[in-house]
Amino acid sequence: MDSSTRINFCALGGGGEVGANCFELSFDGHQILLDCGTHPKKEGEAALPALSLLNRTPDACIVTHAHVDHCGALPYLSRMFSGVRAYATAPTGRIMDRMLHNSVPVMETLARERAIAEYPLYDHGDVGYALRMTECRDFQEPFFLRMNAPVEATFIEAGHVLGSASVLLRMPGHTVFYTGDISKAPQMLMGGHRSLPKDVRVDTLIIESTQGASNDERYGTYREEIDTLCEAVGAVLRGGGSVLIPSFALGRTQEMVNILADLQENRRIPFVPIYTAGLGRAIYELYEHFSDYLMPRAELRPLDRFERLGNVWDSGGVERLLRKPSIIVATSGMMVENTPSALLAQQMIAKDHHGIFFVGYLDPDTPGYRLLHAPAGTPVQLELNRPPVEKKLENIRQFRFSAHASRSDLAAVVDRIKPKNTIYIHGDPGALAWMESNTGNGSTTHVPSIGQTITLEA
Ligand SMILES: [Zn+2]
Ligand SMILES: [Zn+2]
């Protein structure tokens, strides 16, 4: 049996915030990164994790899933340190391909329109190289990282989005479990996360804390939220309006369109076209390709069940689209300027018969949050190059369809694993504080800030 080993942990991003998740584990001169994301709210190099703290090429980077706050900086990392090897599940590898290539033109546009000189942070060539250096591994199949120390990794289903994994890392004398983003409750397509077998002894648990500040009892279940959404959507469509559902391209889009199709097929809402757009459709194809990874018996409709949203930059086209009732599921989920959801809302809020229903987290600094909270009659700016529009539409609401474990589910994860050390990451300060005071009894707890090194005993 190995003698116990002390390791060091450092958050390069995702410490004290949701942020650009990237965590460094080091021992015996070896360095392993867990995730390498970009900060969704920051721009230019400020969106990157603190990669300058790395003093040599990491031995490996393990990517838990393809949301950009976990993988968006991988091409930058592999340009900075050529030869760095990454590991991901096969669906995550394929989704990263679409997400990261999609980021390049988005950054190029921002470089032009907002004169951000650092953009693009990487080009298509860098994305291609990073993906060629990424090895795909299956869930539940332990594998050794290619490095000069025996480190065995296992991906375990995290239940968050297609391909999402937690990772169990057995280093010589020290076992680490990193949850990544996890969900316990089944969604429409994703089943809940798989629990770690009870006999696995974990020295250090690194756990996400997204929902640490929200009191579970205040919210209904996923199914109850579907019923509430059903009533709201039905009322708008029967009144001749259209419904806009701003959604993230990965996860939320595929869940929502299948929820809506299900409501139509059960005659609970009118049979109007359901539109989806660009990246959401590209990722949907991968949900079809990897449908074995979805919940058993999940009913994934074929992509051609959903109409393709046309060019939303043509305001005449949007006007024609909105003449007949329809449901539009479009990015971005937080209605960031110049995205399809912002361009559609720009026209929808000038009328009073439509509905705009947010279905995910809204950061207070985003246009979506401002629109939700602006009183009717006030001007709202959703697009940088167009004048503000007076908000006439009052039917703007927020529903709760979380792909993250509730805080009592997170507490149950800590209780089951009973680690020696618990590190709370990926949460706002209030969420992290709740997690640290209410979970992790008997373990040494840490809420690291970015750049702080923590020594962990096994
Ligand atoms: Zn995520
Ligand atoms: Zn995340």
pLDDT at 120 (0 to 100): 96
97: closest CA among 69, 119, 129, 120?
129
User: Which numbered ligand comes closest to the C-alpha of 66?
Assistant: 1
pLDDT score of 1: 44
Gap from CA of 2 to ligand 2 centroid (Å): 33
**More reliable by pLDDT, 405 or 362:** 405
User: CA nearest 285: which of 38, 64, 97?
Assistant: 97
For 106, other C-beta atoms within 10 Å of its C-beta total 16
Give residue 309 CA to ligand 2 midpoint distance, Å. Answer: 27
| CA 276 – CA 283 distance, rounded (Å) | 11
Burial letters 68-83, b for 16+ CB under 10 A, else e: bbbbbbbbbbbbbeee
State the distance from the centre of ligand 2 to the C-alpha of 50, rounded, in angstroms: 17
| CA distances from residue 444 to 215, 421, 428 in whole angstroms, order as listed | 24, 5, 20
Residue 16, pLDDT score: 93
Specify the pLDDT at position 217: 67
Does 23 score more than 80 pLDDT?
Answer: yes
CA of 136 to the centre of ligand 1 (A): 18
CATH code assigned to 2-214+403-457: 3.60.15.10
What is the percent of the chain with per-residue pLDDT over 70, rounded to a whole number? 99
Residue 375 has pLDDT above 90, yes or no: yes
The ligand whose atoms approach the alpha carbon of 160 most closely is 1
Q: What is the 3-state secondary structure of 392-404?
A: CCCCEEECCCCCC
The CA 31 to ligand 1 mean position distance, Å, reads: 24
Distance, CA 159 to ligand 2 centroid (Å)?
Answer: 13
* pLDDT average, residue stretch 34-42: 94
Q: How far is the CA of 65 from the centre of ligand 1 (A)?
A: 7
* Residue range 220-398, CATH number: 3.40.50.10890
Distance from the CA of 430 to the center of ligand 1, in angstroms? 19
- Whether the Cβ atoms of residue 313 and residue 338 lie closer than 8 Å to each other: no
Q: Residue 391: pLDDT above 60?
A: yes
What would the pLDDT profile of 226-274 be if each residue is shown by its tens digit?
Answer: 999 999 999 999 999 999 999 999 999 999 999 999 999 999 999 999 9
| Ligand 2: centre distance to CA 67 (Å) | 7
Query: At 406, is the pLDDT very low, low, confident or very high (cuts 50, 70, 90)?
Result: very high
Q: What is the per-residue pLDDT for 386?
A: 80
Q: How many CB atoms lie within 10 A of CB 38?
A: 27
Q: How remote is the CA of residue 186 from the centroid of ligand 1, in Å?
A: 15
Q: Where are the domains of the chain?
A: 2-214+403-457, 220-398
Please, are residues 11 and 450 in contact by the beta-carbon 8 Å criterion? yes
Q: How far is the CA of 427 from the centre of ligand 2 (A)?
A: 9
pTM listed for this prediction: 0.95
| Residues by chain with Cβ below 5 Å of ion ligand 2 | 69, 181
